[in-house]
Structure 1
């Protein structure tokens, strides 16, 4: 009886670890996609500012 409850406890901890791992993985994927979108937005803003104002120091 003790072994079964011990096993159940270990399996629930393992399932919790898997869920935490999946959660952190999805967070990392979201962070990477937001980072890519942020860099893309900066590039677009740079091109727009360069075209609109045509500053000499934006070479």
Structure 2
């Protein structure tokens, strides 16, 4: 993966985490869709941590 792709994945993961937290705080979400996206973001972060990459 190129450096740009890594930065893009990190940015997407951070945005998804923020949106998920806002959904929990405001009790507003798009059904289960945002939670599915959150799981994907967590998986991406865990894969990077397991591989020894920086967050």
Task: Using structure 2 for the length normalisation, give the TM-score.
Answer: 0.48
Greater relative CO (CA pairs within 8 A, separation 6+): 2
Choose between structure 1 and 2: higher helix proportion. Answer: 1
Task: Using structure 1 for the length normalisation, give the TM-score.
Answer: 0.45
- Who wins on radius of gyration, i.e. which is larger? 1
